[in-house]
Amino acid sequence: MKEMAEVGELATFKLPTGHHIPALGLGTWKSEPNKCREAVYAAVVEAGYRHIDCADKYGNQEEVGEALKAAMETGIARQDLFVTSKLWCADLDPMKVKQALEKALHELQLEYLDLYLIHWPVHTTVDASRPPSKDQVLPLDLNSVWREMEKLVEEKLVRDIGVCNFTVPKLEVLLKTTTIKPAVNQVEMHPGWRNDKILDFCKRHHIHVMAYSPLGSQATDELHDPTVTQIAEKIRKTPGQVLIRWAIQRGVSAIPKSSSPHRIKENMQVFDWKLAAEDFETLSSFQNQKRVQDGYILFINPEEGPLRSLEEFWDGEI
Ligand code: NDP
């Protein structure tokens, strides 16, 4: 499953369902209003991206949809694109799943999604504050939510379904009852948070891993880390390219976000070269491992609970 195949100019991985997922996609979290449209258009039409990673929560799916429509008007076929969106925490209710998907399709101006993911394994109220009060975190009936996700596949509204931010114990629970297994677990991954345990588990269970925040996100300075910059200088690539190539060589797809057409192009130029084994190993050996997107602000309420600590939230994978 993890063999990378060249399809046109863009390498892809094969999902357990046989569908191909591009090894590189464009992230759209914090893709700024009035810039997101241009970024997606530049990515698809000028830089050759075929995967766009979206979410209801990012609040910019309408701009993504306008850009995809314009891109398809240039002759790019829908079946050559791979569009991902995510089910937000307030919609983790079996009664809301289809409605949430239909909203995403409407905003994106699409008839189907290639991939629909559970964004976080937490069910909250629509008006949940940060952190949520005790009453704003609701019981999660994961099996029933997943069954609704499976129905979306059966109805051909979605080609593949998966999850984000799932730990090994949470995946184990899900795998016990699924008819359609999660095709993807989208998780934070970069040299400063390798996420080895999840990668190993997913490889063994044929769940494709998608690396989010592959550049370390805005919060870290991984793009300026001396190890990364030294390797980049040595091989005449940019730090961004080195980090993206590292992810792809681990057998995962990466979804770096950029709103800059220049950096969008730069990030795509990772398919005609490889990191040497020693550089790959160096990047795989960062001592200080730390999550950037730990979900603390979104979900942890140490005083009231129900989730009182990151240790509890991540089932010890912290
Ligand atoms: P990234 O690691 O992709 O980093 C994005 C930052 O890097 C931006 O500030 C961007 O700025 C900058 N950047 C991009 N390319 C380069 C480059 N070549 N050189 C220098 N700087 C660069 O962070 P994200 O956290 O955005 O993660 C990527 C995507 O993953 C998200 O957009 C989202 O789609 C997904 N995601 C999913 C989550 C989940 O829970 N499922 C959680 C977090 C992210 P600029 O735009 O100015 O280029």
Q: Is any ligand 1 atom within 6 A of the Cβ of residue 57?
A: no
* Ligand 1 atom with the shortest distance to the CA of 164: 41
Question: In this prediction, what percent of the chain has a pLDDT beyond 70?
Answer: 96
Helix (H) or strand (E) holding 106: helix 97-108
DSSP code of residue 193: B
Atom 13 of ligand 1: nearest residue by CA position: 258
Separation of CA 128 and ligand 1 centre (Å): 25
Per-residue model confidence (pLDDT) at position 214: 97
Per-residue model confidence (pLDDT) at position 221: 82
* Cβ count near 127 (within 10 Å): 8
Asked if 144 and 174 count as a contact pair (C-beta separation under 8 A), the reply is no
Per-residue model confidence (pLDDT) at position 73: 98
Asked if 102 and 70 count as a contact pair (C-beta separation under 8 A), the reply is no
Q: Is any ligand 1 atom within 6 A of the Cβ of residue 61?
A: no
* Cβ count near 68 (within 10 Å): 24
Per-residue model confidence (pLDDT) at position 3: 52
Per-residue model confidence (pLDDT) at position 1: 46
Separation of CA 288 and ligand 1 centre (Å): 21
Identity (one letter) of the amino acid at 50?
R
Q: Is any ligand 1 atom within 6 A of the Cβ of residue 185?
A: no
Give per-residue pLDDT as tens, 154-172.
Answer: 999 999 999 999 999 999 9
Per-residue model confidence (pLDDT) at position 218: 75
* Ligand 1 atom with the shortest distance to the CA of 258: 46
Indicate the top mutation candidate among 257, 259, 262 to test ligand 1's pocket, ranked by most ligand atoms within 8 A of CB. Answer: 257
* Ligand 1 atom with the shortest distance to the CA of 55: 34
Per-residue model confidence (pLDDT) at position 9: 46
Which string of b and e fits 172-196 if b means at least 16 CB within 10 Å? eebeeeeebbbbbbbbbbbbbbbbe
* pTM of the entire predicted model: 0.97
* Ligand 1 atom with the shortest distance to the CA of 120: 40
Instruction: Provide the residue-wise pLDDT of the chain in tens; the chain has 318 residues.
Output: 445 554 444 599 999 999 999 999 999 999 999 999 999 999 999 999 999 999 999 999 999 999 999 999 999 999 999 999 999 999 999 999 999 999 999 999 999 999 999 999 999 999 999 999 999 999 999 999 999 999 999 999 999 999 999 999 999 999 998 999 999 999 999 999 999 999 999 999 999 999 999 999 976 689 999 999 999 999 999 999 999 999 999 999 999 999 999 999 999 999 999 999 999 999 999 999 999 999 999 999 999 999 999 999 999 998
**Catalytic residue positions, numbered:** 58
Q: Can you list the positions of beta strands (E) in 19-91? A: 20-22, 26-27, 51-53, 82-87
